[in-house]
Amino acid sequence: MDIIQLLPDSVANQIAAGEVIQRPASVIKELVENAIDAGATDIRILVCDAGKASIQVIDNGKGMSDTDARLSFERHATSKIRQAQDLFSLHTMGFRGEALASIAAVAQVTLQTRTTDDEVGTRIVISGSRMVEQEAVSCPVGSNFLVENLFFNIPARRKFLKTNATEMNNIMQAFERIVLIYPEVNFSLYSNGVEMKQLRSTSFRQRIVDIFGKRINQELLPLDIETSICNINGFVGKPESAKKKGFQQYFFVNGRYMKHPYFHKAVLTAFDRLLPNGEQVSYFIRLTVDPQDIDVNIHPVKTEIKFDNERDIWQILMAAVRDAIGKFSDITTLDFDTAGKPDIPVFSPTGTPVEAPHVDYNPHYNPFIDDGESPSAPSKDNRKHVDSYSPRQASAKGWEELFGTPRTDGAATARQAASAPTLFPSQLSWQDDVETVGGGTYDGHETEPIGEGRATEHYQLRGSYIVTQVPSGLMLVDQNRASQRVLFEQYMKILETRTAHTQKVLFPEVVQFPPSYVSSIDTIIDELCTLGFEITDLGGGSYSVSGVPAGLGGLDTVSLVNDLVAEAVEADAAASDNLRRILADGLARKAATPYGEYLSNDDMEAMLKQLFACQTQKYTASGKLVLSVISYDELAKRFG
């Protein structure tokens, strides 16, 4: 009995749709790319319910005839290629002929289109690959696609769509990738009737500024190089603009967005030793190569592209970025202004020797002795005084009055202790705290410090670890992570009780967020304000920061807010209950006691006291180990 049979077109279309159409953003990408291939100079995108309810893309391209409009929804129907050889000379965004068929297989689609040669246009309605109606209609030149009820006939696929905020972020991300590489096209984006972006035709650099804000304009270094293998142009960020989160990185080849980790490494190599560990710069790089030297037909999404000469382009790209850094970055240069400088003689083998410059100075001058005479003309008595100088004599001349010496009486000691800077407000003994927390044990080890009626002596190792003795052995505490744990619980309490204190900044700072953050930024900003930030919406993705949580005045305000928001967006925290933990943990890591900072014994005792008052002591909020106890048995084994 024969068991192999051909799949119906409806089933085959749904299988193809699973690769091409993954979410509403995929629909927008395919329709907008088709509009660009059709020569459109003005494209409007309208979405409702983050694209789940409807997606509409309107363009002023060349449009389609009634026959082409009907045929465009068939699988592998395309105007881009005619034969297999055309795959190696592509100049269009689309070519597979699967996008419209895939969309029509999983949604209800209405198309209105007209060419310049036709007096009336065509209206087609398709639902789940089935033609519902086709009729003549009056409409402008171009195409108008309306896609409704995405995945209406595949409930399992629709169930796996994310929240509206997440899907809107994906739409904005797809929108950014397209509008960046086509700055000559007008774009507008609307969500639920509200205008999200309005971009006019402009230059590549101005389009970057329009999307990511004016601040980025000061951070860009231009790239422009032409070779027989490829042409490279665009922009990379200055080294000082590097950040750990929120950077923008885009590669384009022949007008197409691509992901290429190998070329990304070339850019990072060019910045070798110029960037702090873990930080990266933004870049917007366009490559132009011979279409025959690349293969875009690897995956239906067409973001993975294979190059025939990757190594050569890698070298060219790295050299181009290094050249941009060397030419345009603000590196301190030598000062050749010789006004007022000593005259340095030039060597001449035939000329007469020039006497070396002579400098007048007083070898007997001593700043600790004041005899009322000019130091440039010392007397004999003064010189004798200098020859027999000793620190004890200098002290007798008023050294104490000038700098002051510490007093040893109890009142002075108390005043100094009260005025000494501390990292933590509490100065209670850790011994008291361990007794309060209870048990005297931690992780199977006794943690009550040795010593009765006095504070335990702690030791700071390499400015990173607190070492202290406990009855069962030695305990080592990572001072940075311990501080993180303490601050995290403090910030979580602030978020729950809404008792934050704000410290005003001297001059308000402006933070610009990319369009992909728009759908979730409001929720994140509200929680940041609860933590003690003062942030005002200026419109267009710009926000003014006029206050920060108390105690954070020394941090870079713009970087701090950027990093916190970027972490929350990347973790999709705005759409979950995890947002407060993400923000509290991020702020705690920024404000924690850094490695290398000196801590007095009182500081270390206060830190340990607060750590053991936390609900969890052994791990940070992100799961990193805070402390470890080495027992005497382990020590004995090491020395056995």
Provide the whole-model pTM: 0.66
pLDDT digit string (tens) for 88-147?
554 455 445 578 888 988 899 999 999 999 999 999 999 988 889 999 999 999 999 999
Strand partners, 145: 57, 111
CA distances from 429 to 116, 417, 455, 523, 583 (A): 85, 15, 6, 41, 31
Q: What's the mean per-residue pLDDT of the chain?
A: 79
Q: Sorting pLDDT into bands at 50, 70 and 90, what band is 339?
A: low
Over residues 494-514, the mean pLDDT reads: 88
Residue 388 has pLDDT above 50, yes or no: no
Q: Which helix (DSSP H) or strand (DSSP E) does residue 585 occupy?
A: helix 579-591
In the block, tokens 């759908």 appear at 519
Token digits of residue 315? 């070298």
**CB-CB contact of 281 with 271 (8 Å):** yes
For the chain, the straight-line distance linking the first and the last C-alpha, in angstroms and rounded, comes to 77
Angle at 220 between CA 215 and CA 221, to 5 degrees: 160
% of residues, the chain, pLDDT over 70: 72
**Would residue 302 be called left, alpha or beta, if left means φ above 0 and alpha means ψ between -120 and 50 degrees?**
left
pLDDT digit string (tens) for 402-443?
444 444 444 444 333 333 333 333 333 344 434 333 334 455
Q: Which of 37-51, 60-74, 333-347 has the highest mean pLDDT?
A: 37-51
Q: Estimate to the nearest angstrom the gap between the alpha carbon of 520 and the chain centroid.
A: 16
CA 17/CA 151 separation, integer angstroms: 10
Phi, psi of 326 (to 5 degrees): -70, -35
Q: How many CB atoms lie within 10 A of CB 468?
A: 20
CA distances from 242 to 73, 426, 555, 601 (A): 46, 37, 16, 36
Q: What per-residue confidence (pLDDT) applies to 443?
A: 52
**CB-CB contact of 541 with 517 (8 Å):** yes
